[in-house]
Chain A
Amino acid sequence: MVFKYFSILLLVFFTVLVILPVYLMVKVSLSPPEDIMVQRPGFLIRNVTFRHWKDVFKSGRLWQPLKKSIIVATTTALLALLISIPGAYVISHLSRTLRYSMILSLFFTRMFPEVGIALPIAVNFIKWGLFDTNLGLTMAHLIRVLPVTAWILIGTYRTIPSDLEDAAQVDGCGRLGVLKHVVLPLALPGISVALIFSWLMSWDEFTYALYLCLREKTMPLQVYYYISRGDWFLTASYATIITIPVIFVTYILQKYLRSGYLAGAVKG
């Protein structure tokens, strides 16, 4: 009994810790400077002002980064699926050892620090004219997105019983036909998870954007720009704006996320 109450108490404590930073961000974005820029700022919202939000909308620094981030994230997500749907299908049908080594090598690439990969890429993209372009940034984002989408899709394909594929082949379906008519419809939930995941990963991405963008910034870069200028209020409003769609999307995602997608790739 004591244990039970203790664990509920602990849970409430962690919940508060999780919510607090986000709450403070929203609070700062809505408070007049007099309430925040003091020695001991209070924790409750006393006065509400929409001044900082209006400033962000009027600053001319919202629509261009928003457009860029949406374009890059959407292209990245679609390209990631286009490349990893067929690739992961093949990997999921390999023998256990081969499959393992493929998955391992997918993640081996993650061992090198992103600052190390971003540097040669920036150097080469300047030569190729891809520096500071949406296409260049999309290509860089695929580097971090592809292993994850491939991993999710391998797990998804593994949850589809192979009897179904065999039956379809017996019924005269070609290899591509099986993929199109049997596997893809059944893998649709996993594919949507991969799609949303890759979109989010590109939307949040900071390191490659920092190395590859100069004139046109993405949303996370713009937040960094506001922080470097030291303006608490514009940063808070801007940060809130880029967070809202993401929290929304994440909740849709976690509803569809089943543990099978994550575990399937490495099991049996």
Chain B
Amino acid sequence: MSFRKLKKSWLEILLITPLLIYILGFTLAPVIYAVYMSFQDKFTLHFPTLVNYKYIFTHFQFKEAFFNTCFVAGVGITLELTIGLLVALILYRNFKGRGIFRAIMLLPLGVPTVVAATNMRYIFDTSGYLNSFLLKLGVVEHAVDWAGGGIKTLMTIVVADMWKVTPLVMLILLAGLETIPEQLYEAARIDGAGAWKRFKHITLPLLKPAITMALVIRGIDIFRIFDLPLILVGRHTRVLSTYAYFEYYDYANPYTSSAGATILMVMILLTIIAYLKMTGTKEVQY
């Protein structure tokens, strides 16, 4: 019997081995190597040393990149979730032309990120379409320099990211909405609950797993955001990913680059842990 059991698991081990080897060898190993490099001295290759971290902590561009990443992630995820939920709630209702609207809303999913960034450059260029629109409306008198730095530049990154990924958030939330049984709403209606009460006491709690999933998937990605800021604003306004890239690309310093990447990972980990601690893992059941 135990021989058969062993034979059974041998097959399973055989089937899963390629996947495990790949994950361990090609993801975990590089991650560990990068963390190792971040504690290595550039000249003497001495390990461990904090020299790379000391260097980037005194680097004003690092402080800027740190702040920018926090801003883009915080504002971005809030707006994406709010608008994604709003659109999902509208598309959840049955009405004529729902299929067409749904299909159009998913368009950005099919546009490569690099292309999305390109399109945003046409919009946010000094003589681009947003300025053209604002000037024609008379909202501003002179063309705004969107890439000039500060909050407005960060907002262009947020808008670009929102355009690209809000559809994905919407899709996840829509799938979550469809799992909520219709009878609950009917029962609440009979009990005299208004639209807001139904939303607050039925939709939101039952949507929590979908919201958590969207938050975790998107939350991780928005911290790591790389191609959009690189193409949209390049060197002038850096987030942590592009900071790490330019450390390697401009200064050929893989050690400080790794230190930047490691700090980004720690930030992501802390955020996820904080989120899970804050909301708890208990699920609502009706």
Task: Name the interface residues of A112-138: CB closer than 8 Å to any CB of B.
Answer: 112-117, 119-121, 123-124
Kindly identify which residue among B28, B34, B90, B174 contacts A10, using a CB–CB cutoff of 8 Å. Answer: B90
A150 at the interface (CB under 8 A from B): yes
Q: Number of contacting residues on B, CB 8 A?
A: 89
A262 at the interface (CB under 8 A from B): yes
The residues of B that contact A119 with a CB separation of less than 8 Å are 34, 37, 244, 248, 254, 257-258, 261
B237 at the interface (CB under 8 A from A): no
- Complex CA–CA separation, A66 to B264 (angstroms): 33
The residues of B that contact A200 with a CB separation of less than 8 Å are 110
Q: Number of contacting residues on A, CB 8 A?
A: 86
A120 and B33 form a contact (CB under 8 A): yes
Specify which of B33, B110, B117 lies most central, judged by the most chain A CB atoms within 10 Å of its CB.
B110
Which of B53-61, B74-82, B129-137, B183-191 lies on the face that meets chain A? Answer: B129-137
Kindly identify which residue among A83, A176, A204 contacts B113, using a CB–CB cutoff of 8 Å. Answer: A204
B244 and A115 form a contact (CB under 8 A): yes
B107 and A109 form a contact (CB under 8 A): no
A113 and B241 form a contact (CB under 8 A): yes
- Complex CA–CA separation, A24 to B16 (angstroms): 47
Which chain B residue has the least Cβ–Cβ distance from A24? B122
B261 and A207 form a contact (CB under 8 A): no
- The dominant DSSP class at the B interface is helix
Task: Name the interface residues of A197-252: CB closer than 8 Å to any CB of B.
Answer: 200, 203-204, 206-207, 210, 219-220, 223-224, 227, 232, 235-236, 239, 242-243, 246-251
Which are the 7 A-B pairs with shortest beta-carbon distances?
Answer: A116-B261, A87-B19, A250-B110, A259-B175, A86-B15, A21-B119, A109-B27
A binding-site residues for B, Cβ under 8 Å:
3, 7-8, 10-11, 14-15, 17-22, 24-25, 28, 37-43, 82-84, 86-91, 93, 105-107, 109-117, 119-121, 123-124, 139, 142-143, 146-147, 150, 175-176, 200, 203-204, 206-207, 210, 219-220, 223-224, 227, 232, 235-236, 239, 242-243, 246-251, 254, 259, 262-263, 266
